[in-house]
Amino acid sequence: MEKIPEIYGKLVFNDRIMRDKLPGDVYKALRKTIKKGTHLELDVANAVAIAMKEWAVENGATHFTHWFQPMTGYTAEKHDSFISPTDDGQVIMEFSGKELVKGEPDASSFPSGGIRATFEARGYTAWDPSSPAFIKDGTLCIPTAFCSYTGEALDKKTPLLRSMDALSKEAVQILRLLGNDDIESVITTVGPEQEYFLIDEKDYAKRRDLIFTGRTLIGAPSPKGQEMDDHYFGALRPRVSAYMHDLDLELWKLGIPAKTKHNEVAPAQHELAPVFDTTNVAVDRNQLTMEVMKKTAKKHGLVCLLHEKPFAGINGSGKHNNWSMTTNTGINLLDPGKTPAENTQFLIFLAAIIKAVDEYADMMRLSVASAGNDHRLGANEAPPAIISIFLGDELTAVIDSIKNDTFFKRDENVVMETGAAVIPHFNRDNTDRNRTSPFAFTGNKFEFRSLGSSASVATPNIVLNTAVADALSDFYEVLKDVPKDKLDESVHALIKDTFAKHERIIFNGNGYTDEWVKEAADRGLDNLKSTPDVLPRFIADKSINLFTKHGIFTETEIRSRYEILLENYCKTIHIEACTLREMIRQDFAPAVVKYMESLSRSILSKKQISSRISTSAEEKMLEKVSAEYEALYVALEKLDADIEKAETMEDGLDLAKFYHDPVFKDMEKVRSIADGIEIHIPEEFLPYPTYSRILFYV
């Protein structure tokens, strides 16, 4: 059996492989491109392509693909073989620098929000050298950006890279003002924790709602859910443990640093967490992780569900985006320092983040908006839709002391007393954790907890990077002309003023309470509960100015993404509504009729045996189910009518609002009645597995 260090990264064209395979001058040129973003000459690209092809073929690859992330939320790939025919009827394996650097997928076949018409098919994929190539299923996968023939970004990677550059530029300016002349760049790092459900493949195959939508559209609660709190961090079941073991191995081969695995709160729910990585690499690897999770599950006769809310009545799945900033010299800018200079540096970046989140809270909310995630946010299982920042008692006290010009003394040794002599003493962390906060400081990073489990982590990081870059840009304008002997005083005044202006966004309490909803409104914070509520903010002047100022999106790119998000929301609810209608008519209703027929036969049989035998129980049940069945039919007719009306509507936002209300409410009504009937029907009558079977039999 291979040892972990031997298999880790074996399918990745990483720095060690490049150093081994490339000539010294080529390696240095490529590293310079990766580190500083310099242009890569064609002769260097050719040399890299040859080495990459040889390595890929040695590891069993026969094809290559430009692996990119269009606006579908998934990845895309078109495979080409390395073979090139020769005059003597043979083939040789070839791969050129041009093929490495550029590809040409059909741009009109991906969501473009109107940028590309059907007859305007040309688009380009361009190699991202900073994200290493890898081998998947016998194909060399080259991470790339994707743009239209006219240059607009049609993917998530391009604006993400732009946002990373923007933040680096603004952060370096501030750091040099503070005397850090050796710092050349600042990178953002991300560690996305991934929640998911595992269910049996046979159960999945019997539920068309899971197949078509990723979530159950009907289904009565199991007698036992998560109320006993016995699943979280519980012992792994053998089948789940075997899956997780194989998943780790597959991820490690791809150089994905899977670190932590455990049972989550809901039955059949689990979590995987990797080690931090540079943001664009972390985004690529999270997309790849979700794909590998699904493939590995299939090998174990399981299905991995990544929908935000696969099952009603128990917790859904999120994705926690652990975000920080690090200089090229290795300094974590969110690590509180031990000297006055380090503390000033930390506080100015903390102030920038607080200002950014307060001013662009609506963009933060928009970055996690989707039909699936609307089921979670504000549902006492995930952070509320109201964006706020948790800092903890100590940092809040620091801010208060700065605002009030009072002295703050840090308690360095708060020893935890457990009351048991055998347990070693240890120091308590400076901050508690607040799982109800959307954006929480957790020691040397911020954890953005509002992301949905199926989403790409690119968009939240685009928004976060850009908003922080904008705050740092404002700070630079204030400080750039200040004389050196006045700089400390001006920095302190800026930090103090920023904390005072934006303290409304800081909330350390319980975000699940009704009191917080009221208090947030009093503070002037938005409560954008649904995707249709928040989407118009994307095309507001404030948003357009932010993203165009820093070169993240053009106005055309913003408006196109707005159209894509609207269309995706409407299509998602439409598919769910049609699936529910079909499932009720073709699966559930026939089962109810069969059960009523069974009750009728039982009543008739008893009466034939003897008129003295009571049939009141069967008659009451038949009457109850029959009445609920009639109500179900009425509710279904209402859903039919509203689906038909939706199909005639043309305005995107009006349609999204109509799908949210009344179509979605029609669906909830149908579900409520169906679930009420289901609890009366024996399992053998139902054509699909119940919640009890799905959640507790893996």
Structure tokens, 644: 């038909």
pLDDT bracket for residue 291 (50, 70, 90): very high
Which residues are bridge partners to 321 per DSSP? 192, 448
For residues 143 and 254, the answer to whether their CB atoms sit within 8 Å is: no
515, 603: one domain: no
- Mean pLDDT computed over 246-256: 96
Q: Is residue 15 situated within a structural domain?
A: yes
- Mean pLDDT computed over 31-57: 88
Q: Which of 60-69, 410-419, 582-591, 596-605 has the lowest mean pLDDT?
A: 410-419
230, 354: one domain: yes
pLDDT bracket for residue 42 (50, 70, 90): confident
Residue 382 clears pLDDT 90, i.e. is over it: no
Residue 360 clears pLDDT 80, i.e. is over it: yes
497, 405: one domain: yes
* SS3 state of residue 123: strand
Residue 343 confidence (pLDDT): 85
623, 670: one domain: yes
Mean pLDDT, the chain, rounded, equals 91
Residue 93 confidence (pLDDT): 80
CATH of the domain at 670: 1.20.120.1560
Q: Which of 144-153, 373-382, 412-421, 628-637 has the lowest mean pLDDT?
A: 412-421
Structure tokens, 170: 């603004």
What letter does residue 347 receive in the DSSP assignment? H
Query: In this predicted model, which residue has the larger pLDDT, 256 or 420?
Result: 256
384, 318: one domain: yes
Q: Is residue 561 situated within a structural domain?
A: no
Task: Report how far residue 190's alpha carbon sits from residue 194's, in angstroms, rounded to the nearest whole number.
Answer: 12
Query: Residue written as tokens 């924790």?
Result: 193
Task: Tell which of 496, 528, 553 closes a domain.
Answer: 553
Residue 311 confidence (pLDDT): 97
In the chain, the percentage of residues whose pLDDT exceeds 70 is 94
Domains in the chain: how many in total?
3
Query: Residue written as tokens 């809310």?
Result: 309
Residue 416 confidence (pLDDT): 42
CATH of the domain at 299: 3.30.590.10
Range of the domain at 644: 569-696
pLDDT bracket for residue 90 (50, 70, 90): confident
Task: Report how far residue 114's alpha carbon sits from residue 127's, in angstroms, rounded to the nearest whole number.
Answer: 25
pLDDT bracket for residue 146 (50, 70, 90): very high
Structure tokens, 301: 């006769």
Residue 170 clears pLDDT 50, i.e. is over it: yes
- Mean pLDDT computed over 270-293: 96
Residue 193 clears pLDDT 80, i.e. is over it: yes
Task: Tell which of 553, 587, 617 closes a domain.
Answer: 553
Task: Tell which of 115, 130, 154 closes a domain.
Answer: 154
Which residues are bridge partners to 693 per DSSP? none
Task: Report how far residue 613's alpha carbon sits from residue 446's, in angstroms, rounded to the nearest whole number.
Answer: 69
Q: Is residue 82 situated within a structural domain?
A: yes
309, 349: one domain: yes
508, 434: one domain: yes
427, 518: one domain: yes
- Mean pLDDT computed over 675-687: 95
402, 475: one domain: yes
82, 203: one domain: no
Q: Is residue 91 situated within a structural domain?
A: yes
141, 183: one domain: no
Residue 330 confidence (pLDDT): 93
Residue 432 clears pLDDT 60, i.e. is over it: no
Q: Is residue 189 situated within a structural domain?
A: yes
Task: Report how far residue 553's alpha carbon sits from residue 462's, in angstroms, rounded to the nearest whole number.
Answer: 10
Q: Is residue 563 situated within a structural domain?
A: no
Q: Which helix (H) or strand (E) holds 653?
A: helix 652-658
DSSP string over 506-527: B--S-TTSHHHHHHHHHHT---
pLDDT bracket for residue 426 (50, 70, 90): very low
Q: Is residue 603 situated within a structural domain?
A: yes
Helices 458-479 and 484-502 meet at what angle, rounded to 10?
A: 130
- Mean pLDDT computed over 419-437: 57
* SS3 state of residue 74: coil
pLDDT, tens digit (0-9, with 9 covering 90-100), for 482-538: 999 999 999 999 999 999 999 999 999 999 999 999 999 999 999 999 999 999 999
Kindly give the pairing relationship between strand 123-127 and strand 63-67: unpaired
Q: Is residue 564 situated within a structural domain?
A: no
287, 410: one domain: yes
pLDDT bracket for residue 108 (50, 70, 90): confident
Task: Report how far residue 458's alpha carbon sits from residue 279's, in angstroms, rounded to the nearest whole number.
Answer: 8
Task: Report how far residue 176's alpha carbon sits from residue 172's, in angstroms, rounded to the nearest whole number.
Answer: 6
| Number of neighbouring beta carbons within 10 Å of residue 43 | 11
Task: Report how far residue 220's alpha carbon sits from residue 231's, in angstroms, rounded to the nearest whole number.
Answer: 20
- Mean pLDDT computed over 662-683: 96
